[in-house]
Amino acid sequence: MDCIFNNFYENDQRIVVENDSFYHLSALRIRIGEEILITNGDGLMAKCSLISINKKSAELEIIEINENIGESPRRIGLAIGILDNRDRLEFAFEKSIELGITDFYPLNARYSSNKKYDTKRLNTKAIAAICQSKRSKLPIINETITFDEYIRKIANEYDYLFLADIEGSDLELIPSEKSCCILVGPEGGFSEEEIQIIKALDNSKLVKLGKRRLRAETAAITLVSAISLNFHI
């Protein structure tokens, strides 16, 4: 069953779809009486039936509403150094949302070519990703933060910080109630000073992803996937 994004509330009985959500619905060629999922990005997923449609809007009747569909039981953050290639950064962002991240931090690291990223652009990408993966919650997209600010203000919020390193250990199973954040450097990687700062943190763990040197977006997706798939313990 296809999924689109639209605002609605727990006590609603019908949903009127307009603007971008309507264009998405129209592209799916849903007919009267057929069913579709609607996520509100705030934790609710509605199963709906199309009851009317015109050139600018559609009305759907809510059959049932469920909470936290498609969500893992843990908080998973991704903090990635801003990449010079915007497409590669956005690819990592979208795929990580499909895999379950709940928080995203664009990092201004020492070797970041671009020092700031317009996070407003990412919201549209996030909506498309939660519709694709049938998630009920949009991740929190944070404004650009420097590496030092991340270490001071954010790092201690998580039970585990994971940094991919060829000399690291294999990823172990993580209890489902434990929160995790993945740290990925920009194209040039984290500086040696930044790596040493991460290593000195009590909650940091170096994780081996194999013997190959991976691009930033590949490392991010690989590590998010590995963590999201072991949430069941």
Contact criterion met (CB below 8 Å) for 169 and 205: yes
Report all structural domains of the chain as residue ranges with CATH numbers, in order of start: 3-67 (2.40.240.20), 76-228 (3.40.1280.10)
- Residue 224 Rama label (left phi>0; alpha psi -120 to 50; beta): alpha
The H-or-E segment that residue 95 falls in is: helix 86-99
At 230 the pLDDT is 64
Pair type for strands 35-39 and 44-53 = antiparallel
Confidence of residue 117 (pLDDT cuts 50, 70, 90): confident
Q: CA 101 to CA 88: how far, in whole Å?
A: 17
* % of the chain at pLDDT higher than 70: 98
Q: Which pLDDT tens digit goes with each residue over 186-221?
A: 988 899 999 999 999 999 999 888 777 788 899 999
Exposure of 99 by Cβ count < 10 A (0-12 exposed, 13-18 middle, 19+ buried)? buried
What is the chain's Cα-based Rg?
A: 20
Q: What is the pTM of this model?
A: 0.91
Q: CA 192 to CA 114: how far, in whole Å?
A: 19
Angle at the Cα of 84 from the Cα atoms of 147 and 92, rounded to 5 degrees:
80
At 231 the pLDDT is 47
Q: Which pLDDT tens digit goes with each residue over 4-56?
A: 999 999 999 999 999 999 999 989 898 999 999 999 999 999 999 999 999 89
Q: Which residues contact 12 (CB under 8 A, 6 or more apart)?
A: 46, 62
Confidence of residue 97 (pLDDT cuts 50, 70, 90): very high
**Residues 144-172, mean pLDDT to the nearest whole number:** 90
- Residue 33 Rama label (left phi>0; alpha psi -120 to 50; beta): left
